[in-house]
Amino acid sequence: MTSIAASERLTLSALLEGQTAAHLVVAADDLGWWQQLMRREEKIVPTTGLQRALARALHRFGWLAPDGDGYRLTEDGHEIAFNRGFVRVTTRGWEPTFRQIGSAAATADIVPAQTDPDAVARGCTDIALRHPETLQAIAARVAQDTEPGSTVDLGCADGGRLQIIGEFGHTEQLIGVDIEAGVIDTARERLAGLGFADRVRLRAGSVQPGDELPAWLDEGIRSDVTTAMSFNLMHQLASDGGGIDAVLGAWLDWFPNVRRFVIGDVVRSAGVQWHEQPWFAPTFEIYHELTGVRVWRDDEYADAFASLGFRVAEHLDKDHEAMMVWIAER
């Protein structure tokens, strides 16, 4: 057993206060505070007793600084605000799964993932919006195609990524598919509100390959798709579906005219102990081990593209140490 240096141990204090802080970060996000505070010139002014208590607590954690009748963001607070999507996904999105573990562990090897789909969708979109340049790079590639095409987002959640692709690529047609009908409704609202209604098709259904073509895959979508993208879902689909190459291979059958895959996912990190890994990686890996889902290595994604005759045109890894995006073309 390797011992963990005292300075790297997860302390009891961090365990307890961290959980309280995470709930308060999500509450402040529900009030729209982080977004408001990130516009540097703005401060928030609490107007109720609850808001004043919340703001005082965030001040005690070091993330807000008092300023006249309100509060501004500190440097540490900026990092929290910038990454609040991770806090929402882990605190609210995955909480239903973590809650079951103790009771299931007596008899079961894994616990089925149970999520709050809206919290996962909103958190994931907030994560994506932190680095619009990643999606800008994808839109720029798509724009290089001699003929405009259609980009499908497989597991599109509330449509946040389609929104950015649509904003940068003015002629691209957009298609989104997600297994959660509720988040597809949110995506429809979001994209219609931004004026994309006439160039977006949204479908509720599974993108997990099976023996038959999925019901949502009509002939129009089949032949139109030229770019197939999927973010933060492949690890799960590949675990259930015989590997990354098997999933990509099935999608090639679904979309015969696809020129490009854009896959984004969290990769397995080299470290074992939590302090040897970038933040979020231990939580991601533990959550998936508990739910029986593999987390795949960077080279396993690269091998899968190569095995299907796709060349990695871009490998984007500036967002987070454990989050990669591959643009693979043929």
Ligand X SMILES: C[S@@+](CC[C@H](N)C(=O)[O-])C[C@H]1O[C@@H](n2cnc3c(N)ncnc32)[C@H](O)[C@@H]1O
Under the rule (CB under 6 A), what is the footprint of ligand X?
Answer: 117, 120-121, 124-125, 128, 155, 157, 161, 177-180, 183, 206-208, 231-233
Q: Please say which residue, 38 or 204, places its beta carbon nearer to ligand X.
A: 204
- Rounded to whole angstroms, the Cα distance separating 68 from 55 reads 13
C-alpha 141, offset from chain centre: 21
> Minimum Å distance from CB 297 to ligand X?
19
- Rounded to 5 degrees, what are φ and ψ at 311? -105, 135
Query: Residue 232 CB, nearest distance to ligand X (Å)?
Result: 4
Measured from the CB atom, is 55 or 128 closer to ligand X? Answer: 128
Q: With respect to ligand X, which residue has the nearer C-beta, 28 or 127?
A: 127
Residue with tokens 């309100």: 70
Beta carbon of residue 267, minimum distance to ligand X (angstroms, whole number): 14
Of residues 155 and 282, the one with the C-beta less far from ligand X: 155
Pick from 290, 286, 312: which is nearest to 300 by CA?
312
Q: How far is the CB of 208 from ligand X (least distance, A)?
A: 4
Going from the C-alpha of 121 to that of each of 53, 160, 187, the distances in angstroms are 28, 9, 10
Residue (251 or 305) nearer to ligand X, CB: 251
**CB 158, min distance to ligand X, A:** 8
Strands (E), 140-298: 150-154, 173-178, 200-204, 225-231, 260-266
Nearest in space to 165 (alpha carbons), one of 181, 187, 150, 185:
150
Rounded to whole angstroms, how far apart are CA atoms 96 and 131?
Answer: 28
Q: Which residue has the tokens 């240096």?
A: 5
**Least Cβ distance, residue 180 to ligand X (angstroms):** 4
Spatial CA neighbour of 207 closest among 247, 162, 256, 252: 247
- In DSSP notation, 94-108 reads SHHHHHHHHHHTTT-
As a whole number of angstroms, the distance between CA 287 and CA 204 comes to 25
Is 168 within 8 Å of 139 (Cβ atoms)? yes
Q: Given the complex with ligand X, which of 77 and 159 has the nearer CB atom?
A: 159
Find the shortest distance in angstroms from Cβ 145 to ligand X. 22
Q: Which is nearer to ligand X, 36 or 206 (CB)?
A: 206
Distance of closest approach, residue 236 Cβ to ligand X, in angstroms: 6
What minimum distance in Å lies between the beta carbon of 147 and ligand X?
A: 26
- Do residues 257 and 223 lie in contact, with contact meaning Cβ atoms separated by under 8 Å? yes
Q: Give 63 or 94: the residue with its C-beta nearer to ligand X.
A: 94
260 forms beta bridges with 227, 329
